[in-house]
């Protein structure tokens, strides 16, 4: 299969690129390298993938690339993912996440490609009223980031109605695993692993009992590959359905530390969702997918990748 991956030098995107190459796909990546890392693609480029430096906000360039590559599937991961940045500059967040997605959909329309859109569960649902949350859970974003990703999903469905573009939006839980930046704004597991390896203590905002649905990046890759070959449209949750607290993460990692690894508490951050997990029943029914990697195994693999 000929494939195009937007944001393919990032954490999740580069893992998807590797998964596509492993099954024999032809892979082209477009990324502006603003947050992604070229080194994430070193192995992929050696294996024959192509990297094009470009911005999804440039519709003409994106359409021209699609017309050259003629992808059968476009995996759309390029995004503004920093929640705090979205709050500080919601217009920029929308320009990248909404207008950028429209440009991807237009490129897909021109060449007849299926779009696998990377979206978010927790940031769209907000505080979990039903846990695990199904796809029809009330939409109540608590940051512009969640609102822009929900709007992007809406455009995927609009392009299906108007132009017959086949698109599915995968709503991820909290994805973690190799290549997640331990120095970044997002990704508590990567941050905690980085602290552990530096011999430092983890900072916990609030009481540490807030829960998330942590899903391993290898399982997310499997969901993307399955979605590309399916016909399902609309939103599909990709998570484990299991709630884990921040304290759970520290207790699971602590045995790997050379010394004490204990929570250092700081004031809670306003606007943070307290509890969420995702119901992945639809992914099981429509994609034949379920998470295979338990938290302990995933944490060990993530930690080993940073050593």
Active site residue 216: no
Q: What pLDDT score does 184 carry?
A: 57
pLDDT digit string, tens, across residues 74-94: 999 999 999 889 999 999 999
pLDDT confidence of residue 186 = 62
Domains and CATH numbers, the chain: 2-175+214-239 (3.40.50.720), 177-211+243-275+297-306 (3.90.25.10)
Give the tokens for residue 161.
């109605």
pLDDT of residue 182: 73
Render 10-40 in DSSP notation, one character per residue. SHHHHHHHHHHHHTT-EEEEEE--SSS-GGG
Low-confidence ranges of the chain (pLDDT < 50): none
Q: What is the pLDDT of residue 59?
A: 98
State the Cα–Cα distance between residues 168 and 251, nearest whole angstrom.
36
Q: Please report, to the nearest 10 degrees, the dihedral formed by the alpha carbons of residues 176, 129, 275, 13 taken in order.
A: 10
Place of tokens 């990546």: 29
Structure confidence at residue 187 (pLDDT): 87
- In this predicted structure, what is the pLDDT of residue 98? 98
Cα–Cα distance, 190 to 139 (Å, whole number): 28
pLDDT digits (tens, 9 = 90+) for 14-61: 999 999 999 999 999 999 999 999 999 999 999 999 999 999 999 999
**pLDDT score for 241:** 98
β-pair type (73-76, 114-120): parallel
Q: Can you spell out the DSSP letters for 189-217?
A: HHHHHHHHHTTPPPEEETTS--EE-EEEH
Quick one: DSSP state of residue 241?
Answer: S
- Could you give the residue ranges of the DSSP H alpha helices within the chain? 11-22, 42-46, 59-69, 83-88, 90-94, 100-111, 122-125, 144-163, 188-197, 217-228, 246-253, 281-287, 295-306
Q: Who's near 72: CB < 8 A, 6+ residues apart?
A: 1, 2, 3, 113, 114
Of 125, 145, 172, 214, which residue is the catalytic one?
145
- Per the CB < 8 A criterion, the answer to whether 243 and 16 are in contact is no
DSSP structure string for 73-86: EEEE------HHHH
What is the four-CA torsion angle of 142, 144, 149, 151, rounded to 10 degrees? 100
What's the pTM value of the predicted model, to 2 decimals?
Answer: 0.97
Half-sphere CA count of 156, side-chain side, radius 13 A: 28
């Amino acid at each position: 299969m000929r494939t195009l991956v937007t944001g393919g030098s990032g954490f999740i995107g580069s893992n998807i690129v590797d998964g596509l190459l492993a099954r024999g796909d032809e892979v082209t990546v477009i990324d502006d390298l603003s947050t992604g890392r070229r080194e994430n693609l070193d192995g992929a480029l050696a294996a024959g993938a192509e990297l094009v430096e470009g911005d999804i906000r440039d519709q003409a360039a994106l359409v021209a690339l699609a017309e050259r590559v003629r992808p059968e599937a476009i995996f759309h991961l390029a995004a503004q993912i920093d929640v705090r940045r979205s709050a500080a500059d919601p217009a920029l967040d929308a320009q990248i996440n909404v207008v950028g997605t429209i440009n991807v959909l237009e490129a897909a329309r021109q060449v007849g490609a299926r779009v696998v859109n990377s979206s978010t569960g927790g940031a769209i649902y907000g505080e979990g009223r039903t846990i695990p949350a199904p796809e029809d859970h009330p939409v109540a974003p608590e940051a512009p980031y969640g609102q822009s990703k929900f709007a992007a999903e809406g455009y995927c469905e609009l392009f299906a109605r108007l132009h017959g573009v086949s698109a599915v939006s995968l709503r991820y839980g909290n994805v973690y695993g190799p290549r997640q930046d331990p120095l970044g704004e997002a990704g508590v597991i990567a941050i905690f692993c980085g602290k552990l390896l530096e011999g430092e203590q983890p900072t916990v905002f609030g009481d540490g009992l807030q829960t998330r649905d942590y899903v391993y990046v290898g399982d997310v890759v499997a969901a993307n590959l399955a979605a590309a070959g399916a016909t399902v449209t609309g939103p599909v949750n990709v998570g484990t359905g299991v709630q884990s607290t921040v304290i759970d993460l520290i207790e699971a990692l602590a045995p790997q530390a050379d010394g004490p690894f204990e929570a250092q508490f700081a004031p809670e951050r306003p606007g943070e969702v307290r509890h969420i997990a995702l119901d992945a029943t639809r992914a099981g029914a429509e994609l034949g997918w379920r998470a295979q990697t338990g938290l302990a195994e995933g944490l060990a693999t993530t930690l080993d990748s940073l050593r």
